[in-house]
Amino acid sequence: MDFNFETCPDRTETDSTKWHRYAGRDVLPAWVADMDFSTAPAIVEALKKRIEHGVFGYPTPRPQTFDAIVNYLAREHGWQIDPDWIVFLPALVAGINASIRAVGQPGDSVMVPIPAYPPFLSAPVNSTRIAKRVPMILQNGNWQFDLPALEAATTPDAKIFLLCSPYNPLGRVFTREELLSVTDYCTRHNLVICSDEIHCDIVHNSGSRHIPTASLSPEIAQRTITLLSASKTYNIPGLTCGYAVIPNADLRTRFRRVIAGIATDVNIFGYLGMETAYNEGGEWHRACLDYLRGNLDLICEKVRTMPGVTLHQRPQATYLAWLDVRELNLENPYAAFEQGGVGLGDGADFGTPGFVRLNFGCPRERLREILRRIGAVAEQHQPAD
């Protein structure tokens, strides 16, 4: 089946968060992480059928919903889970906040590598915890955890480590050795691991495979809360459905207590969208990944020619490219690019000013124009030799 990623529905008149920010202005949005593509036709068909049913009472996950998850994690990631470990969530951001509150107490520290997906930085504040920010480092063109710095920053009040795997915004898919060294550090400091794996199916390198943190060993599984969702891969975040996988019964009870009566139930369309994605979305998923790889090639080709803009490492996963624009010496890079007609993610929001994040989940011609505009801003502010 052919899927069309070249012509996307116009989102300007819809309720899109991404497009609403620049309504009425000539600014192309490439910030918040959703794609401009229509989702898989199988998902649209399943939702249409459900709408035609006409009754939208309170939903509950069916045995088929659990089966879809269990089969999918086993098939795609070689991870065998027990359905009892699953806790449904309306959104993974709720899961990040709940994970922090499920362990320790106000005043404790939360270990956060930076740059960090912004809710990793706001969630500790929401829970009156202290985010201990530890910068990732570039070694031989490879973004890595700085384990000595993590060790040095970890005090006895640290209770949880926020891991993003694959890593938004750096695009890393971590190897088994890297995951083992970071989980080893967590074990030594008795840290719970909140492993946000929402980008696990958007992996570009044929040589890289996502490894679920909790699949490393039963011991690591006991200290890990894994956050997952079909929303990034199948572009259905508006259906609001995610889930946590928590093998440790005590941790799971604590997590459930935190969200009880606060996090809303998943809606009918969320369960169905996820189920259909996992059961029937494979062909669309592969086609989407192919298309994204083409976009990534274009980014690598164009950014290479831009003065003062560096993509240190080709993303191995995600549809997000992390651009270093420090050489341009802009007081506010986000504002400068916005003025140049592109709405990028602001590195300052990720804890690292001087960088911007480019969302390339869009038709190629739009991406070409986005890159042209980024290049024009770079030319205008290029560093003197």
Ligand X SMILES: Cc1ncc(COP(=O)(O)O)c(C=O)c1O
Choose between 270 and 340: whose C-beta lies nearer to ligand X: 270
Minimum distance of ligand X from residue 322's CB (angstroms): 12
Minimum distance of ligand X from residue 278's CB (angstroms): 15
Q: Is 100 in the site for ligand X (CB under 6 A)?
A: no
Taking residues 241 to 260 in sequence order and writing x for each that binds ligand X by CB under 6 A, - otherwise, the string is -x------------------
Q: Is 161 in the site for ligand X (CB under 6 A)?
A: no
Largest CA distance in the chain: 67
Minimum distance of ligand X from residue 178's CB (angstroms): 17
Options 47, 68, 69, 92; binder of ligand X; rule CB under 6 A: 92
Within residues 33-52, the interface with ligand X by CB under 6 A covers: 33
Choose between 171 and 341: whose C-beta lies nearer to ligand X: 171
Options 198, 259, 317, 323; binder of ligand X; rule CB under 6 A: 198
Q: Is 68 in the site for ligand X (CB under 6 A)?
A: no
Within residues 168-187, the interface with ligand X by CB under 6 A covers: 168
Number of residues that bind ligand X (CB under 6 A): 13
Options 30, 46, 93, 191; binder of ligand X; rule CB under 6 A: 93
Among residues 171, 22, 280, the alpha carbon closest in space to that of 12 is found at 22
Please report, as ranges, the residues that interact with ligand X according to CB under 6 A. 33, 91-93, 117, 164, 168, 196, 198, 229, 231, 237, 242
